[in-house]
Structure 1
Amino acid sequence: MTDYDVLRVFCGPDGGYGNELGVVREGSVLPDPDDRQALAAKLGFSETVFVDDPERGVIDIYTPTLRLPFAGHPCVGAGWLLDVPELVTPAGVVGVRLDGEFSWIEARPEWAPPRTLRQYASAAEVDALPVPPRGDWIYAWAWEDESAGRVRARAFPGRDDGIQEDEATGAAALLLTARLGRALNIVQGRGSQILTAPQPEGWVEVGGRVFLEH
């Protein structure tokens, strides 16, 4: 079995929750894309990262069923684990910085996979949502406190890969931040926390707490 680490990314203030991420630090042991896809499917995390060059931060990202040119929680987690100033993804070069308990990435909204951002009137409505039928990748959100930039969100990938709800989704948070044009403090899923901030020239920072599970 290929060795891999398991991280939890976008954990809550007490270190709980977060979205699990598999990281294969020695990507060279599994160079073939089909083999990587098979391992990602076997592990069953929402994403698995293969590190092709740890010093330069070159990474390759897979869901259980497809390869992604960019994704938020894998980049935040890999940036924290590798402790590099940037990550090289197929979509582009992602900036990385570590600031106290938070790991941050800087990326562009156009790198994010398509997401349907669906606003609801209240956090209670978002909490009460059932898992929708397969189809669009839906990011359901509502203001908890609009003046403070606090958002309640849930994410439904809509794929047939066993992941009905994504616990914490950096790419969708990036898209929502770009649309609203302001910094956000997002509570997603059961209790994960995602922080965001718009940057000059259309870039967006996305940050959160990362913990090594094993």
Structure 2
Amino acid sequence: MTDVQVVRVFADPAGNFGNKLGVVLDGASIADPGDRQKLAAELGYPETIFFDDLERADFKIYTPAVELPFAGHPSVGAAWVLTRELGKAPAVLRPPAGEVPTWQEGDDVWVRGPLASAPPWWHERLDSPEAVDQLTGPLAPEQDATQLWAWENEQAGTVRVRVFGRRFGIPEDEACGSASMRLAAALGRRLTIHHGNGSLVLAQPGPPSYAEVGGRVVADSQLQS
């Protein structure tokens, strides 16, 4: 049996909602990539991470369908988990994409990641937040990695977003960090993103070819699989 911690990343200020993340602290207990992929599919969370070295913040990221070199939601979650497990906040994370700086601002955990290593989300603007709310899926079946969004308040930088990721085994992603990073980079400004059913994501451009994403993380549950 494998111990799996579950956290919710990008919770709202009251600690509700957020995107579930499976966390295997003892990655050596499931060393085979095929077995890791199988567990990630069984759990069904948008991502599950496996730590190969806690002290070095070395971890791998799996969706229910594929392994990723970098993603925002699991990286923010990894930084929060490491702070709790080690008693100190890491300065950098080490997913397969390379070193990812991380820091904390109040209750929010932030990471800076390379856009070239993030999933290639397509993003399309809709006419209103209500149009986003009324979606039952992507605009067309072939849009299998799609972010659909609308301004709530353009001056304030608040947007309404939903993300559909069948390509990665995720029919709808409750709160997608990498898509939020791509949107902030494309718009060139800091965003407050009302995502999914009630999650809250913060994102902003970083240095050239990078973007930053942050939010609140809360503990959810622990299970054995």
- Which TM-score tier does this pair reach, normalised by the shorter chain? over 0.9
Task: Please give the alpha-carbon distance, in whole angstroms, between the structure 2 residues aligned to 1:160 and 1:90.
Answer: 17
Does the 8 Å contact 2:69/2:96 carry over to 1?
Answer: yes
Residue of structure 2 equivalent to 1:141: 149
Q: Find the partner of 1:203 among 192, 195, 210.
A: 210
TM (norm. structure 2) is: 0.91
RMSD: 1.3
Residue of structure 1 equivalent to 2:187: 180
* Number of residue pairs the alignment of both structures matches: 213
Does the 8 Å contact 1:106/1:206 carry over to 2?
Answer: yes
**1:94 aligned onto 2:100:** yes
Q: Find the partner of 1:170 among 157, 166, 177.
A: 177
Deviation at 1:134, TM superposition (A): 5.4
Residue of structure 2 equivalent to 1:122: 128
Task: Please give the alpha-carbon distance, in whole angstroms, between the structure 1 residues aligned to 2:137 and 2:130.
Answer: 15
Is there any run of 5+ residues in structure 1 with no aligned partner, and where?
A: none
Residue of structure 1 equivalent to 2:114: 108
Deviation at 1:209, TM superposition (A): 0.3
Q: Which moved more, 1:91-100 or 1:143-152?
A: 91-100
1:34-73 matched pairs, under 5 angstroms? 34-73=34-73
TM (norm. structure 1) is: 0.95
Task: Please give the alpha-carbon distance, in whole angstroms, between the structure 1 residues aligned to 2:33 and 2:7.
Answer: 22
Does the 8 Å contact 1:134/1:158 carry over to 2?
Answer: no
Residue type matched to 1:34 in 2? G
Percent identity, please.
49
- What whole-Å deviation, never above 9, does each CA across 1:151-206 have from its counterpart, x for those lacking one? 10000002383x32110000000101111110000000011000112233343220
Deviation at 1:135, TM superposition (A): 4.2
Deviation at 1:136, TM superposition (A): 2.5
Deviation at 1:110, TM superposition (A): 1.5
**1:156 aligned onto 2:164:** yes
Q: Secondary structure at the match of 2:155?
A: helix
Residue type matched to 2:25 in 1? R
Residue of structure 2 equivalent to 1:6: 6
Does the 8 Å contact 1:138/1:158 carry over to 2?
Answer: no
Task: Please give the alpha-carbon distance, in whole angstroms, between the structure 2 residues aligned to 1:192 and 1:101.
Answer: 15
Deviation at 1:52, TM superposition (A): 0.6
Task: Please give the alpha-carbon distance, in whole angstroms, between the structure 2 residues aligned to 1:134 and 1:37.
Answer: 24
- What whole-Å deviation, never above 9, does each CA across 1:83-109 have from its counterpart, x for those lacking one? 211111111211111222101001122
Q: Secondary structure at the match of 1:206?
A: strand
Task: Please give the alpha-carbon distance, in whole angstroms, between the structure 1 residues aligned to 2:38 and 2:160.
Answer: 34
Query: Which stretches of structure 1, 4 residues or longer, exceed 4 Å deviation after superposition?
Result: none
Residue type matched to 1:183 in 2? R
